[in-house]
Amino acid sequence: MNTFLGIAAAFAVGLAATSTALAASHEKVKACFIYVGPVGDFGWSYQHDQGRLDVEEVLGDAVETAYLESVPEGADAERAIERFARSSCNIIFTTSFGYMDATNKVAGRFPDVKFEHATGYKRDHPNISTYNSKFYQGRYIQGQIAAKMSESGIAGYIASFPIPEVVMGINAFILGAQSVNPDFQVKIVWANTWFDPGKESDAAKTLIDQGADIITQHTDSTGPMQVAAERGVKAFGQASDMIKFGPETQLTSIIDDWGPYYIERVKAVMEGTWEQVDIWAGMAEGHVVMAPYTNMPEDVAAMAEETEQKIISGEFESFTGPINKQDGTQWLAEGEKATEEQLLGMNFYIEGVDGTLPE
Amino acid sequence: MRIELQRRDAPSRRMSLLSPLIALALTMLTGCIIFLVLGVDPIAGIYAFFVEPLTETWSLHELAIKAAPLILIAIGLSICFRSSNWNIGAEGQFITGAIAGSAIPILMPEASGAWVLPAMLVLGMLGGAAWAAIPAFCKTRFNANEILTSLMLVYVAQLFLDWLVRGPWRNPEGFNFPESRTFSAGQILPEILDSGRTHYGAVFAVVLAVILWLSLTKTVKGFEIRVIGQARRAGAFAGFDANRLTIFAFLLSGALAGLAGISEVSGAIQQLRPSISPGYGFTAIIVAFLGRLNPLGIIVAGTVLALTYLGSEAAQIMLGISDKIGRVFQGLLLFYVLSCDTLIHYRIRFAAIDRRPSKEIA
Amino acid sequence: MGILEAVLLTIITAATPLLLAAIGELVTERSGVLNLGVEGMMIIGAIAGFAFAQMTGNPYLGTLAGAILGALFSLFFGFLVLTLVTNQYATGLALTILGLGLSGLWGEAYIGVPGIKLQPVAIPLLSEIPFFGPLFFKQDILFYISIGLVCAVSYFLFRTNAGLKLRAVGDNHHSAHALGVNVIAVRYMAVMFGGACAGLAGAHLSLVYTPQWVENMSAGRGWIALALVVFASWRPYRVLSGAYLFGAVGIAQLHAQALGIGIPSQFLSALPYIATVVVLVLISRNRRLTLINTPATLGKGFVPDR
């Protein structure tokens, strides 16, 4: 039910057909990428660039790629996207939520170019698709592992900004943890940054000082992993496999693997089969990958793998009722599964989370 | 060998024209060396950086969009810097201006009519000026260093904007994503020409720069600013009140930064977002100095700096070189311009140390 | 380890880079030169420290390299403002931009490489003292250097002849020149000292604070260091307290959050900045005291008449 893959907007088909001429001429297809951070962040933008490199590796000479890094959201984004559209790019991936309106505006002006916007929801024109990954699936597994591994019964959660994506992650984590230990607690610190190794490290130290012995993060740097290693507690990586930064520390990591999607979409342009989609894919499609389960007893790893398999097969969905909101009111009834709209607009904690959600 | 400076009796006219050109030539020369080290064809590199963005109409529009806020902020800062008021918090004033101006479209989404845009612009200027008034007040009343206070207030303004767009001003139809509602037609600064996105912010920038230049050179206030900037005590003897001038300079530069902020939001972004400025307020400090604190010079400097941003993108796409090169170029350009400006006021002599008589104090 | 002890340790680590950079800038400013390029020198120190630690496998050589490259990098600034008498504000900004750009280029090879941490050095006996031992005597070498530098700079400025000369240059370069002090030479050294300290601060970031290289990892700390110097009204020991106060407010807001206090996190994050402004206003109200300490020629160029 989660898979939107292949659901096409019928009116896009005609347009896609016109651009087959291009593919037929055996010209190289040019795929272009816009990143919000430096490719050197070893987090969000780095992973998108890994996806770009996958495209180059798999499609080889048939494809040409280009990227712009550290493009600020706002007026600059529209210019950067338009520049790509004008420099013979056939498909443009804009990889930050803040590029949403700029992408849509430019897409309207260049109907022959395909646009792919990550994490957004606006598709004003037939030549723009949106895509995102279900990272929360991994967070549920992390919660389970945390509850098994923690001695203090407290995990520390370094959060970035209170947007649905992040809140959803916190809720999935607590659901997973409390499925193992109903008394498990999560302490949350909002770092108000996606990327500041120093600040994230300080947040990790703070959480450990307050009794957390498992650290997880929804920020991008490897700082917290290193702090956890130093203080001798366990931690989860974020966005990429951070095992190098905590060989004895990392339990697992949620890896954003954009490669499969990028390859598929660029291929579609080559073959003239590109159609508008809205994809929110997860583990089943290989867009969310768990790093090897390390530094934990075999039974815990086995449990994690079992949950992973169940999520992949579709047998299990983290947000399945009964789930109450933090104030005790019912959110999902017994057996009810959250819809994607409910998840994508999530702005409340579920029961079991301590603290108040910043407004 | 050592370098000695000899003050010229009067600034050299020839050098004031030549120095920016020498600086640009030196930047390009150094650029060529860097390109060679990186294994990039230097001619292609220079072309991508400084020529390619000027070859197309749409790109010229983008140049104007990028340059407009830089120029608007920088001309305000030039008044501050000329009068020795070190306002380095224009980034914060830009943001508060944008917030204040956006209050109308966000709190009164239905508002329409001819009054809306002018009211937004005025509110924007007031918002920027109000934020700038804090360091000015702290300086004149409590003697607190304005570099520090204005800079700290940048961070506060950024966090305040962040809180607004994630909290009370969040778009009710935006799935809880951190952005305000989008402005409607009557709340958007219109585009000037049909051929591209340039909005009226660019017009404000040029017109105000010219007005400011005229007032600096032709009015008593302009004279006062120049006198106090060069010698505070002399200004005091002439009956100019340095404190009042401080307040004036801060309010003016704050208002201009605020105007830049609301113009950018209303003209180019059309909604409030957690980050609305890629550091315009800081880059404008460079622009102000590149333009030698002269409003007309700032128009040129703002355009050149905007060009390096566009050029950096062109170089990334055409040659696959890192965006860090753009930063390096900006730093080098400023270095060379500052160095070459020395030639305007001084003659440079290279003297061998051993020829210097020993009695001389060095 | 008790919670208080742990919290204090965190504060010390957060404050050390600020302190290192600020004490260097203090000396530079005392000589009458305002170098707004601290952020740029710091980030050069961070990449230099990281790169040399990787190349040699020795974080101490990395630390040394951070200091040396920071000092060399500051010479760009020194040459312009001292020899060519350019505007100090603008030149400092140029240094920051250039530093961020160059470090990014240099660091591309080190992205995603785990760093080598500068390990704490326990001082025999003293580190055994309960509570205070682990806090003050079981730290990395940069902590000891930072405290040592504060004492040394204070002694140098107010108890030695050379320090007197340096302050004289900062207070009135014309009379210092007339008295036979080589104003430009003194300032070159002060600028390089500031560069070396900022380089050490950078090395702390990439070898102690978060042992890794990431672009822009200084994240505005150079600016905070500049603020601290003014905040301290150019007194070394006040820089020390200022750095720790700033570090403490920053850490306290994280603890307040983890305890679940329902104040928007943006307001808590803004606290250190607001606190700095308020404290600065309180300190500066005493005009006489500020005037005594402010180097009178700060930011003004000097050309020796021959």
What pLDDT digit, counting tens, does each position of C115-152 carry?
888 888 888 888 888 878 788 888 899 999 999 999 99
- What pLDDT is attached to residue C287? 74
Task: Report the CATH architecture of A12-134+257-281.
Answer: 3-Layer(aba) Sandwich (3.40)
- What pLDDT is attached to residue C68? 97
User: Chains near B, with 3+ CB pairs < 8 A?
Assistant: A, C
Cα distances (Å, whole numbers) of residue B5 to A344, B8, C280, C303: 66, 9, 39, 7
- How far does A305 lie from chain B, in Å, by closest CA? 33
Lowest-confidence range among A185-194, B332-341, C18-27, C255-264? C255-264
**Residues of chain A with C-beta less than 8 angstroms from the C-beta of B197:** 78
- What pLDDT is attached to residue A16? 40
- Given an 8 Å threshold on Cβ–Cβ distance, is A356 in contact with C262? yes
- Given an 8 Å threshold on Cβ–Cβ distance, is A76 in contact with B162? no
Higher pLDDT, A326 or C33: C33
Whether residue B137 lies within 8 A of chain C, CB to CB, comes out as: no
pTM metric for this prediction: 0.85
pLDDT bucket at B1, cuts 50 / 70 / 90:
low
- Given an 8 Å threshold on Cβ–Cβ distance, is B310 in contact with A98? no
- What pLDDT is attached to residue A20? 42
Residue of B nearest to C95 (CA): B331
A63 DSSP β-pair partners: A29
- How far does B316 lie from chain A, in Å, by closest CA? 6
Residue of A nearest to C252 (CA): A206
**Residues of chain B with C-beta less than 8 angstroms from the C-beta of A80:** 313
- What pLDDT is attached to residue B241? 80
A20-29 contact pairs (CB < 8 A, 24+): A20/A271, A20/A272, A22/A90, A22/A272, A23/A269, A23/A270, A23/A271, A23/A272, A24/A272, A28/A61, A28/A62, A28/A63, A28/A64, A29/A59, A29/A62, A29/A63, A29/A64, A29/A90, A29/A91, A29/A266, A29/A269, A29/A270
- How far does B276 lie from chain A, in Å, by closest CA? 6
Mean of the per-residue pLDDT values of chain C: 89
- Given an 8 Å threshold on Cβ–Cβ distance, is B285 in contact with C93? yes
- Given an 8 Å threshold on Cβ–Cβ distance, is C111 in contact with A42? yes
Whether residue C269 lies within 8 A of chain A, CB to CB, comes out as: yes
C265 pLDDT more than 80: no
The three-state secondary structure class of B132 is: helix
Residue matched to tokens 């807001």: C253
Q: Tell me, what's the ipTM?
A: 0.84
Q: What is the pLDDT of residues B147-170, one digit of tens each?
A: 889 988 999 999 999 889 888 898
Q: Are A139 and B143 in contact (CB under 8 A)?
A: no
- Given an 8 Å threshold on Cβ–Cβ distance, is C6 in contact with A192? no
C279 DSSP β-pair partners: none
Question: On the CB side of B323, how many CA atoms lie within 13 Å of its CA?
Answer: 20
B258 pLDDT more than 70: yes
pLDDT bucket at B353, cuts 50 / 70 / 90:
low
Residue of B nearest to A161 (CA): B166
Amino acid letter, residue C113: V
Q: What are the structural domains, with CATH classification, of chain C?
A: 3-293 (1.10.3470)
- How far does B119 lie from chain A, in Å, by closest CA? 23
**Residues of chain A with C-beta less than 8 angstroms from the C-beta of C7:** 206, 209
- How far does A99 lie from chain B, in Å, by closest CA? 11
CB pairs under 8 A between A and C: 107
Residue A28, phi then psi, degrees to nearest 5: -65, 140
pLDDT bucket at B282, cuts 50 / 70 / 90:
confident
- How far does B323 lie from chain C, in Å, by closest CA? 8
pLDDT bucket at B231, cuts 50 / 70 / 90:
low
Residue A195, phi then psi, degrees to nearest 5: -155, 100
Q: Report d(CA B2, CA B217) in Å as an integer.
A: 38
Whether residue B335 lies within 8 A of chain C, CB to CB, comes out as: yes
**Residues of chain A with C-beta less than 8 angstroms from the C-beta of C251:** 202, 205-206
First to last CA, chain A: 32
**Residues of chain B with C-beta less than 8 angstroms from the C-beta of C105:** 322, 324-325, 328
Cα distances (Å, whole numbers) of residue B343 to A181, A205, C144: 74, 53, 45
Asked whether this chain's domains A12-134+257-281 and A136-255+290-344 adopt the same fold, the reply is yes
Whether residue A70 lies within 8 A of chain B, CB to CB, comes out as: yes
- What pLDDT is attached to residue A358? 67
Q: Which of B62, B73, B61, B63 is nearest to B97 (CA)?
A: B73
Q: Which of C6, C10, C265 sits opposite A202 (nearest CB)?
A: C10
Q: Report d(CA A285, CA A260) in Å as an integer.
A: 8
pLDDT bucket at B358, cuts 50 / 70 / 90:
very low
- What pLDDT is attached to residue A15? 38
Whether residue C80 lies within 8 A of chain A, CB to CB, comes out as: no
CATH topology of domain A136-255+290-344: Rossmann fold (3.40.50)
User: Chains near C, with 3+ CB pairs < 8 A?
Assistant: A, B
Q: Report d(CA B317, CA A138) in Å as an integer.
A: 35
Q: Which residues 184-223 of A have a C-beta within 8 angstroms of C?
A: 187-190, 192, 195-199, 201-203, 205-210, 221-223
**Residues of chain B with C-beta less than 8 angstroms from the C-beta of C179:** none
Alpha helix (H) residue ranges in chain B:
13-38, 42-46, 57-82, 90-107, 116-142, 146-166, 200-218, 220-230, 232-237, 242-263, 280-290, 295-319, 324-345
Q: Report d(CA A234, CA A84) in Å as an integer.
A: 43
**Residues of chain B with C-beta less than 8 angstroms from the C-beta of C304:** 361-362
Q: What is the mean pLDDT of each run of 10 residues along chain A (359 residues)?
A: 37 39 62 88 87 94 91 87 92 92 93 93 93 93 95 92 87 94 91 83 91 92 91 92 91 93 94 92 91 94 95 91 88 88 85 74
- What pLDDT is attached to residue A13? 37
The conformational region for residue C223 under phi > 0 = left, psi -120 to 50 = alpha, else beta, is alpha
Residue matched to tokens 């006219």: B13
Cα distances (Å, whole numbers) of residue C118 to A216, A299, B231, C202, C203: 25, 36, 50, 13, 10
Whether residue A31 lies within 8 A of chain B, CB to CB, comes out as: no
**What residue ranges do the domains of chain A occupy?**
12-134+257-281, 136-255+290-344
What percentage of chain C has pLDDT greater than the value 90?
Answer: 51
What percentage of chain B has pLDDT greater than the value 90?
Answer: 36
- What pLDDT is attached to residue A236? 95
- How far does C145 lie from chain B, in Å, by closest CA? 26
Whether residue C14 lies within 8 A of chain A, CB to CB, comes out as: yes
- What pLDDT is attached to residue B352? 63
Q: Report d(CA B47, CA B311) in Å as an integer.
A: 9
- How far does C144 lie from chain B, in Å, by closest CA? 28
With residue A90 as reference, give the H or E element that holds it.
none
Whether residue A330 lies within 8 A of chain C, CB to CB, comes out as: no
For chain A, strand residue ranges (E) read 29-34, 63-68, 91-94, 114-118, 128-133, 154-159, 185-190, 214-217, 234-239, 250-256, 278-281, 288-290, 323-324, 330-332
- Given an 8 Å threshold on Cβ–Cβ distance, is A101 in contact with B270? yes
Whether residue A44 lies within 8 A of chain C, CB to CB, comes out as: no
CB pairs under 8 A between B and C: 146
Q: Report d(CA B93, CA B146) in Å as an integer.
A: 14
Q: Which of A87, A98, A121 sits opposite B273 (nearest CB)?
A: A98
- Given an 8 Å threshold on Cβ–Cβ distance, is C105 in contact with B324? yes
Residue A255, phi then psi, degrees to nearest 5: -100, 125
To test the contact with chain B by mutation, choose from C281, C289, C303 the residue with the greatest count of B C-beta atoms within 10 A, namely: C281
Q: Which of C147, C158, C127 is nearest to C27 (CA)?
A: C158
Residue B5, phi then psi, degrees to nearest 5: -105, 140
Residue of A nearest to B178 (CA): A163
Residue B334, phi then psi, degrees to nearest 5: -65, -45
To test the contact with chain B by mutation, choose from A34, A76, A342 the residue with the greatest count of B C-beta atoms within 10 A, namely: A76
B21 pLDDT more than 70: yes
pLDDT bucket at B50, cuts 50 / 70 / 90:
confident
**Residues of chain C with C-beta less than 8 angstroms from the C-beta of A188:** 257-258
- Given an 8 Å threshold on Cβ–Cβ distance, is A156 in contact with C250? no
Higher pLDDT, B357 or A161: A161
Residue A253, phi then psi, degrees to nearest 5: -150, 145
